[in-house]
Amino acid sequence: MPGYIIANYTIHDKETYQKYPPAVGPTIQQYGGRVLVADYEAKTVEGSPQQVIVVVEFESVEVAQRWYDSSEYRSIKHLRTESTEGWAVIANEFVMPED
C-alpha cells in the first residue's frame, strides 16, 4: 500500500531553500518516490495552511520512512529545516472501509 510524505511549510530563508529542491529530487527518485504535489501558491479554501504544500508518494510507509531516515536525505534535510517553518508527516494511503 502506498505511503506518503506530506509537508506544509513557509520559507523564511529563500537563499538557503533554493538549494533544497534540486538536491532532494534525486534522493526521492533513488527510493522510488514520486512527487505528486509541490505547490508554492496553493489556493486556501479552509484553515490557515503554510505557503508550500508537498506530497510525495512512495511504495509504502516503510519505504517513505527509509527515505526520510536515509543518509542521502539526512545530509540535505537541513536545507529545508533551517530555511522553513512548518511540518511533515508520513501517512498511509486511504482505503475505503467495506460495509
Q: Which domains does the chain have, with CATH numbers?
A: 3-92 (3.30.70.100)
* Closest among 30, 9, 33, 14 to 87, alpha carbons compared: 9
| pLDDT one digit per residue (tens) for the chain, 99 residues | 999 999 999 999 999 999 999 999 999 999 999 999 999 999 999 999 999 999 999 999 999 999 999 999 999 999 999 999 999 999 999 988 987
pLDDT for residue 95: 87
pLDDT for residue 37: 98
User: Contact 90/65 with Cβ under 8 angstroms?
Assistant: yes
User: Contact 93/58 with Cβ under 8 angstroms?
Assistant: no
Q: Which residue has the cell 531516515?
A: 69
pTM of the model: 0.93
